[in-house]
Structure 1
Amino acid sequence: MKISWNGIAGVVCSFLLMMACSSPEEVAQSHLQKGKDFFEKGEFDKALLELKTSNQSSDKNPEVYYFMALLDEKNNNFKSMRQNLIRTLELDPAMLQARLKLGKLDILFGESDKALAEADSILTLDEGNTDAQAIKASVYLKQEKRDQAEEIVDSILKSVPDNIDALSIKAQLHYEKNEVDQALALIDKALEKDNKNLPLRLFKIKLNGRDNVDKTEEGYKELIRLYPYVNNFKLSLASIYSMTDKLDAAEALLREVVEKSDDKLEPEIVLIEFFNAKEKNRVVDEYQSMLSRHQGQSKIILELARWMLGAGYVPEAKKGLQQVIDIEKESNAGLTARTILAEIALADKQYDEAENSINEILNANSEFIQANLLKARLFLVKNKTDESIELLNRLVWGKTNIDDVYSLLGQAYLIKQDRKQADKSFKQALEANPANLTAFDYIYGGYIAAGQKETARQLLERALAKMPNQALFLTSKAELDISEKKWDDAQQVVQRLALFSKEKAVPVYLQANILKGRGKYPEAIALYEKILQQFPNHLKSMISLVESYEALKHREAAISFLENHHFKYPDDLNSVGVLSDLYMADKDVVKTNKLLADQLKRTPKAISLYLAKARIETIMNKDVGAAKNVFLRALEVNKDDPQLLTALAGLYEQTNEGEKARKVYEQLLAKNPEANLAANNLASLLIESGDIEQGMKLAVRFKESENPYFQDTYAWGLIKTGSTAEGLKILESLVLKEPKLPEFRYHLGVAHFNTGNRATAITELKQAISLSDKQKRQFSGKDNAEKILKELEASSGK
C-alpha cells in the first residue's frame, strides 16, 4: 500500500506528541523495561542499547545501572561491572543483590576488607542471608582462616544442602587438604543444580588435571559443548591433545577455530605456531596456503610474513614481504615491508645494502618510525652509540612505536654501561607495551635475580594479558609458579605452552619439574630420561634427574644412568661434570680423577675439565699448589684463555706469589682492557701490596659499579689513600647489602679505626674474624684484623 507524505507526517507528529506527553522519567522507565525484556531473552546488544537510552533520559534509576552491571558480567568486563554496582548502591543502598555481587567482585579484586564490609551490611538487613555468609567464608578461606570458613560453610549446608557457593568453598577446603575425591563429589553435586556454572567446571578440570588426563579432556569437551563460541576452551583442549601426542585431534580443533573466525589473523597464527612446535616440515606449505587465501589482504600477509621471519623462515618471509610491497607501494604497509627487508640485510651484516634501503625509505617518508629505528640500530652496529641515542631521544617526542624506541634506548645505554638509564628506558618501554620482549626479558630477569617475585609476577601478568600465547611469557610463568610451588597453575600454563613452544623439550622439562615438585619422582625421572634421549646434553634435566634419584635415596641408579649416558655420548661434557659431582658426593676421588683424565684425552681443549681436575689435584695432594701444573698444562693447549689465566692468577695469590699473579692479570688486561674481573683483582692486589696509586688508577672505574666486590676494592683504596669518609660511606652501604662477607667487615672495621670510632671498629673486626671462622675460609688481611683487634682490646682494658 502506498503511503503518502501526509500519512508519514501524521505518524511522526503523533509520535512526537506522544513523547511530548511523557516525562523523562516515564521515557526512561519505558526503555528500562524494554532493556530488561531483551536481557531475559538473551538479546544483550539490544538490551544495552535500551539501557543506555534509558540512562540518557534519567540517570537516577538504580535498576539501569544494575542491569548494565549484569551485562558487564556476561562480557567478563569486571571493572565496568564494579563501577556500575557502586553507582547502583549509591542510588539504592538497600539493593541486596547488587551488594552481594559487589562483595564477590571485591574478593576477585583482592579487597577482602571491602568484601567483609559488604557481607556485614547485608547481614545487618537480612541476618540469615546465606549468600552473604558465603562471601565471609570465601574471605576467611583467602585469609587462611580455614576453621572459621568451614564453620560458616557447614552452617549454610545444614539449612541449604545444595547452596552452590557453599559447596564450592567446601570443595576448596577438601582440595587444600589433598582430599580430591571429596572435593570432586561436592563439585558434581553443585553442577547438578547449575550445569553451566563456569567457575565450577574450571575447578573440576583443575582437580582432574592433577592425575587424570582423560577426565581433563572430557572436562574441556563439555565446556566446548556448553560454550561453543569460546575459543580459549578449544585452545586449552588442543594443548592437552598436543601434550599427549594426539596431534591430529589438536590440528582438527585448531582448524575449526580458524574456519569459524571470519578471516581473523590470530587463530591462523596459533595454527602455524602449532606446526612450528610439532611438525616443522608443514609450516611452509601452511604459510603458502594462507598467502593464497588472503591474496590482496596486505595487512594480513604482512603479519604472517613477520611471524615467519621471527620463526626463522627467512626466504619465505621475504616472498610475503615482496607481495606487500607490490600491492602497497609507498603506503605505510609497503614501507614497513621494505624496512623489514632492510632489517634482514642488517642481520646478515650486509650493512651497505641495509643503509641504502633505509635512506630510500626515509627519502619517501622522513618521519617513518620503523626506518628511523633501524637507522638507530645501524648506528649501534657501527659503534656510533652516541649518534644512536641522539636519534632515539628525538624519536621519543614523536610518541609513535614508543616502546620500541625506549627498548632500543635501553640497549644503547647498556652498551655504554649506564645501567641506571638502561633500567629507566626498559621500564618506560614496558609502560608503553607490557609485552615488549626485549624490555620484558631484561626487567623481569632483574626482578627474579633480586628475589622480587611478586613484582615480577605483576609484570608477567600484564605481558600475558597482551600476548597470552607468547612462549617466553608462558615459560616464565611456569617457572615462577613452580618456584612458588603453585603446581596447579603451573600445570595449566605448561599445557598451553605445549602448543606454542618451538623447543619441544621445554614443556616436557617443565612438566617433569611439576611432577618432581609434587614428589612423583619415578614419573619425573621417566620424563627427564625422555628429554635426554632427544637432547643428550640437556644439563638441567641431568641435574633434576639426579635430584629425583637422590630424593628416592637411589644414588647408585643415578650413577648407573649417567655412566651409560656417558658411554653413549662420550664427547658430552655435561654428563662428565654431573657424574664427577656424584663420584665426589661418594668421596670417590680416585674414580673422579680417572674420569676427568680419560675425558681430557678425548677433549683436550675442554676448559671446564681442567678447572675440575685442578680441584681434584688439590684435594688428593692436600695442597692448593698442586693445581698449578694443571693450569699450566691447560694453557699449553688453550693459549691465553681468560678463564684459565684468571684461575692461575688467583692460585698464585693463594700461594703468596704476588708478582706472578700481577703479571698474569696484566697479561689479561693487555689482551682485553675491559676485563673487569682482572682489573678488580689486580687493583686489589696492588692496593694490598702497597702500590696504592697504581691500584687506584684501576679501581676508579668501579666507583659507580653495581658489583659489590668491585665497589669494595674502590672503597678500600679510598681508605688506604686517606679518603676515609668517602670510603666509609660506601662500605657501610655494602655491609647492609652483603652482611656476611668477612672482607667487607674487615675493611669497615679499619675505616672506623682510622676515624677513631674504636667501639664500632672492635665490633666489625670481631664480626669479620667470626664470619671467617664459621665459613672456614681465610681472607686477605685476617692477620692484620686480629692484630688491630688485639691492640684495641688491650688499650680499652678488655
Structure 2
Amino acid sequence: MKTNLISSVVFACSFLLQTAACSSPEEAAQNHLQKGKELFEKGEFDKALLELKTSSQSSDKFGEAYFYMALLDEKNNNFKSMRQNLIRALELEPGLTSAKIKLGKLDIIFGDLDKALEQAELVLASDSSNIDAKLIKASVYIKQSKKDQAAEVVNLVLKDSPDNVEALSLQAALFAEKNEINQALVLVNRALEKEPKNLPLRLFKIKLDAGLNNIDNVVKGYEELIQLYPDANNFKLSLASIYSMTGKLEEAEGLLREMVQKSNDKVEPEIVLIEFLNARAKDRVIAEYESMLSRHQKQPKMLLELSKWMVASGYAESAKKGLEQVVELEKNNETGLSAQVILAEIALMEKQYSTVESSLRDILSVNSELIQANLLKGRFLLAQNKTDEAIELLNKLVWNKVNVDDVYSLLGEAYLIKQDRKQAEKIFKQALEVNPANLAAFSRIYGNYLQSGQKENARQYLEKALSIKQNDVLLLTSKAELDILEKKWDGAQEAIQRLALFSKDKAMPTYLQANILQGKGKFSEAINLYDKLIQQHPNHLNSLINLVRSYEALGQRDKAVAYLEKHHAKYPDELNAVGALSDLYAANNDFAKTKKLLTDQIKYTPKATSIYLALARVEAVMNKNIESAKKVYLQGLEINQDDPQLSMALAGLYEQLNEKQSAIKVYKNLLDKNPGTSLAINNLASLLIESNNPDEIDQGVELAKVFKDSENPYFQDTYAWALIKTGSNSEGLKLLQALILKEPKLPEFRYHLGVAHLNAGNKATAISELKQSISLSEKQKRNFAGKDDAKKILEETENSAGN
C-alpha cells in the first residue's frame, strides 16, 4: 500500500511538470488576457484588472492587455494612466485601431492637437471611411478655430451616418459658435433621442437653453438629470441655484433638505443648507443650527464642524451651545480640546483677555503641542500688539515642521503688521501650498497677481481653492469676475448660479448676470437687469455706471441722461446717481448744467463731501483757472470742518498755487486731527524739506523717517530726499537709483537723483538727470516742488562745468 501511494504521487507530479512545460509564458498571458476581456464584458472590473495585469506580467507582448487596462482607467476617470496604457498598447501592437481612436480623443483633452490629428490620419490611412477618425479631425479643427474645415468633415459624416451622435453634437457646437442656438438645439435633441443618457449632451442642452434664457427648459433639464443620476448632488445644487435665482426659494430649500436626508452621516450637505439659509433666510439660521444640534447630539465631530461654521459666519454666541456640548462629550481628548480652543477664540473676539489667558493655560497644560491652541496664542499676542513674540512663536512652529496652513497664514499677517510685505507674500504662498483654500492667504496672493496683471497665475490659485471650497462666496465671486474679464461666459454663468444660493448680497448674482449680458453685447437686456437692480438698490454705483455704459454702447446717451434725471428726481439724496449724472453732463461739455446740478445738490445734502470735490473740478474747468476751486473747498470746510478729503484737496491746491505756507498749515491741522494719514505726512514732509528754514527742514526729515520701509515709491522718494538733505547722500543715492528703475518718468525723482549725483561729484550725470526732470515736467505740463531750484542748480552746474 505504501509503495503504491508513493508511485501515485510521483506520477501526479510528473504529469503536472509535463503540463507546465507545455504552457509557454505567451500562452499563459493569452489565457489571462482572454479571461480579463470576458470579465470586463461581464462588468467584473476588479477581477478583470487582476487578470490583465497578470497577462502583462506573464508576457509583455500583448498590446490588447494594455488597451483593456486603459478602458478600465476610462471608467475610473483616470485619464493620465489611460493615456500611458494606450501608448504602451500601440507600441506593442501598432495596428490596434481602437487604441488609436481612444488615444486621439485623449490627446484632444490634454491639448495635444497635433498628436490627435496624427492618430486620426494613421487610422484613415488604413481605413479611409473610419467615422471616429474623421470626427477626431473635426474636433481638432474646432479647437483650432478652423470652423469651415470642421463643418466640411462633419457634413460628410452626417451624409453617410445621419444619426451619428458625436457628429450631431459637433455640428450643434458649430451652430452654437455662430450663436445659432435654435439650430443647435434641434441637433442636440436629435442626438438625445438616440442616446438619452448621454451626460455631456444633456449638459450641452442645458447650456443652450440657458443661452436663450429659457429657464423652464433649464429647470426641466436638471430635473431629468437628477432622475437619471439621483446620487449626484452637483445637479441638485445647480437646480437649487436656478430656483434661487428665479425666486423659487421653497423649491431650492426642498432640494437641499433632500440632500441632507440622504446623507445623514455627512456634515457637508448640512452646512450647504445653513449657508443657503444664511443667504436667503437669515432669521432661520439659529433655529436650524439648534435643530441640527439636537439631531446629532451624540456625534461630537458633526457638532464641532457645524459650530465652527457658525463662528466663522458671525453666530459666535449661538455656537457656544454646540461647542459646550462637544466639550461635555469629549472632555480633554482631541475633539474636546478643539472645541475649547474655539470657545477661547470667541472670548478673544469679545476682548475677554483674562478668559483667553486662563483657557490657553488649561488647554496647553493638557497638550502643549496642540496646534489650534498655539495658533490662538499667536493671535492673542498680536491682539496685545506683541508682534515680535507672535512671530517668534509661529516661526518656532514652522521650524518644528508643523505643516499647518493657518500657521503660515497667521505668520504672514504678523509680517504685514511689521510692514515686511515680501516676507509676508512668501509666507502666504507657503500657506497655499499646504491648503489652496486658505482664504486669508488666498485673498492676499490672488489680489497681488490681479493688480500686477498676471491673470493666469491668479486663475491657477483660484481654481485650486475652488476645488476645495466649491461654495465659498468670495471664491465664486472672484471666479465670476475673472471669467467675465476674460470673456469666459460659461464659467462665469456656472459661478453665478452657485452664488445665487450662497451670497448674502442678493444683488451680486443679478449684477454679475448683467455684466455677462453687457460683455456679450446684449446691451438692451443688460440695461433691463441693471434697471431692476437700481430700483431695488437706488444707490448701486456699479449698476448706474454700467447702465450708462450700455446706453453709450447703443449710441443712446440721451436715454442715459433721461434715465438718470428721472432717477435723481425720485431719489434726490442718492449721491452716486448725482455723480453719474454730472459725469454725463460733463461728457456732453454742458458744464453749466453740471454746475447747477451740483450746486443744487449741496443745498439738499450740504455735508456731502464728494459733491464739493466734483464742483471744484467743474469750477476750475469753466473758469480755466485752478484757483477758482479754492472757494468751493473753503465753502465745504465751513460746513464739514476738518474733513480729511476736503483738507487734502485744499492743501494740494495751495501747493499747485505755490502757496506753500498755506499748504503746510492745512496739512498740520489735518494731521492734528488724523495723525496716521500717510499721504498728508508725505506731502507735509516734502514741503518742509524744501524749506529754507533749518527748523522746518528738521521737522520734515523727522516726518519722513516713517517711510524708511515703505513700498510706496513716492514715500520712498521723500525719505531718500530727507537722507540727501541731512548728509546721508550715498544711502539716498542708492535708494533713488532703485526708484528710477521703477518710476523713470517722474520729474521730482529725477531732480532729487540729479542733486544726489552732484553731491557725489558726478557732474555729468547730475546735469543729465536735472535736464530730464525739467523736460519731463514740461512735457507733462505739471510743476513739482523744487522745479525752480532744479533750473538754478542746472545752470550753476553747467557754468561751472564749462569753466
Please tell me the TM-score bracket, short chain as reference. Answer: 0.7 to 0.9
Aligned to 1:539: 541
Counterparts of 1:460-475 in structure 2 under 5 Å?
Answer: 460-475=462-477
The 1:525–1:307 alpha-carbon spacing in structure 2 relative to 1, beyond 3 Å, is same
Counterpart of 1:538, as a letter, is H
Aligned to 1:295: 297
Stretch moving more, 152-161 or 318-327: 152-161
The 1:641–1:379 alpha-carbon spacing in structure 2 relative to 1, beyond 3 Å, is farther
Q: How far apart are 1:233 and its partner, in Å? A: 1.7
The 1:97–1:684 alpha-carbon spacing in structure 2 relative to 1, beyond 3 Å, is farther
Q: How far apart are 1:721 and its partner, in Å? A: 7.8
The 1:762–1:382 alpha-carbon spacing in structure 2 relative to 1, beyond 3 Å, is closer
Q: Distance in 2 between the 1:546 and 1:766 partners?
A: 41
Q: Do the aligned partners of 1:172 and 1:183 also contact (CA within 8 Å) in 2?
A: yes
User: Cα deviations across residues 191-240 of structure 1 (Å, max 9, x unaligned)?
Assistant: 44443332233222222211222222232233333333322122212211
Aligned to 2:169: 168
1:141 aligns with 2:142: yes
Q: Distance in 1 between the 2:755 and 2:187 partners?
A: 68
User: Cα deviations across residues 447-477 of structure 1 (Å, max 9, x unaligned)?
Assistant: 1111111111111111111111111111111
Q: Please, which of 647, 656, 659 is the counterpart of residue 658 of structure 2?
A: 656
Counterparts of 1:304-383 in structure 2 under 5 Å?
Answer: 304-383=306-385
Q: Do the aligned partners of 1:251 and 1:271 also contact (CA within 8 Å) in 2?
A: yes
The 1:70–1:689 alpha-carbon spacing in structure 2 relative to 1, beyond 3 Å, is farther
Q: How far apart are 1:436 and its partner, in Å? A: 0.6
Q: Do the aligned partners of 2:754 and 2:765 also contact (CA within 8 Å) in 1?
A: no
Q: Do the aligned partners of 1:174 and 1:183 also contact (CA within 8 Å) in 2?
A: yes
Counterparts of 1:107-506 in structure 2 under 5 Å?
Answer: 107-123=108-124, 126=127, 129-211=130-212, 212-261=214-263, 263-400=265-402, 402-506=404-508
Stretch moving more, 409-418 or 163-172: 163-172
Q: Aligned to 1:229, what secondary structure does the other structure show? A: coil
Q: Do the aligned partners of 1:762 and 1:793 also contact (CA within 8 Å) in 2?
A: no
Counterpart of 2:207, as a letter, is K
Q: Distance in 2 between the 1:792 and 1:128 partners?
A: 85
Q: Do the aligned partners of 2:243 and 2:251 also contact (CA within 8 Å) in 1?
A: yes
Aligned to 1:580: 582
Q: Distance in 2 between the 1:83 and 1:259 partners?
A: 41
Q: Distance in 2 between the 1:237 and 1:291 partners?
A: 28
1:709 aligns with 2:719: no
Q: How far apart are 1:264 and its partner, in Å? A: 2.1
How high is the TM-score relative to the length of structure 2? 0.86
Question: Considering only CA atoms, is the larger Rg found in Structure 1 or Structure 2?
Answer: 2
Stretch moving more, 784-793 or 231-240: 784-793
Q: Distance in 2 between the 1:748 and 1:164 partners?
A: 71
1:549 aligns with 2:540: no
The 1:139–1:791 alpha-carbon spacing in structure 2 relative to 1, beyond 3 Å, is farther
Q: Which runs of 5+ in 2 are unaligned?
A: 1-8
1:772 aligns with 2:780: yes
Q: How far apart are 1:612 and its partner, in Å? A: 2.5
Q: How far apart are 1:246 and its partner, in Å? A: 2.0
Stretch moving more, 256-265 or 296-305: 256-265
The 1:227–1:789 alpha-carbon spacing in structure 2 relative to 1, beyond 3 Å, is farther
Aligned to 1:607: 609
Counterpart of 1:521, as a letter, is F
Q: How far apart are 1:695 and its partner, in Å? A: 4.8
The 1:40–1:287 alpha-carbon spacing in structure 2 relative to 1, beyond 3 Å, is farther
Q: Aligned to 1:645, what secondary structure does the other structure show? A: helix
Stretch moving more, 321-330 or 539-548: 539-548
User: Cα deviations across residues 284-303 of structure 1 (Å, max 9, x unaligned)?
Assistant: 33323322332311111111
The 1:794–1:69 alpha-carbon spacing in structure 2 relative to 1, beyond 3 Å, is farther
User: Cα deviations across residues 9-45 of structure 1 (Å, max 9, x unaligned)?
Assistant: x9xx99x989995777666655554543343344445
Q: Do the aligned partners of 1:649 and 1:661 also contact (CA within 8 Å) in 2?
A: yes
Q: Do the aligned partners of 1:742 and 1:772 also contact (CA within 8 Å) in 2?
A: no
Among all aligned residue pairs of Structure 1 and Structure 2, give the percentage whose two residues are the same amino acid: 65
Root mean square deviation, CA, Å: 3.8
Aligned to 1:4: none
Q: Distance in 1 between the 2:148 and 2:737 partners?
A: 47
Stretch moving more, 80-89 or 332-341: 80-89
The 1:88–1:360 alpha-carbon spacing in structure 2 relative to 1, beyond 3 Å, is farther
Q: Distance in 1 between the 2:754 and 2:96 partners?
A: 68
Aligned to 1:756: 764
Q: Distance in 1 between the 2:123 and 2:797 partners?
A: 71
Q: Do the aligned partners of 1:305 and 1:317 also contact (CA within 8 Å) in 2?
A: yes
Equivalenced residues, count: 782
Q: Aligned to 2:211, what secondary structure does the other structure show? A: coil
Aligned to 2:82: 81
Q: Do the aligned partners of 2:419 and 2:709 also contact (CA within 8 Å) in 1?
A: no
Stretch moving more, 625-634 or 381-390: 625-634
Stretch moving more, 311-320 or 150-159: 150-159
Q: How far apart are 1:101 and its partner, in Å? A: 2.4
Q: Aligned to 1:756, what secondary structure does the other structure show? A: helix
Q: Aligned to 1:664, what secondary structure does the other structure show? A: helix
Aligned to 1:5: none
Q: How far apart are 1:173 and its partner, in Å? A: 3.0
The 1:124–1:413 alpha-carbon spacing in structure 2 relative to 1, beyond 3 Å, is farther
How high is the TM-score relative to the length of structure 1? 0.87
Q: Do the aligned partners of 2:238 and 2:497 also contact (CA within 8 Å) in 1?
A: yes
The 1:766–1:778 alpha-carbon spacing in structure 2 relative to 1, beyond 3 Å, is closer
Q: Distance in 2 between the 1:275 and 1:509 partners?
A: 21
Q: Do the aligned partners of 2:347 and 2:353 also contact (CA within 8 Å) in 1?
A: yes
The 1:757–1:609 alpha-carbon spacing in structure 2 relative to 1, beyond 3 Å, is same
Q: Aligned to 1:296, what secondary structure does the other structure show? A: coil
The 1:720–1:281 alpha-carbon spacing in structure 2 relative to 1, beyond 3 Å, is closer
Q: Aligned to 2:764, what secondary structure does the other structure show? A: coil
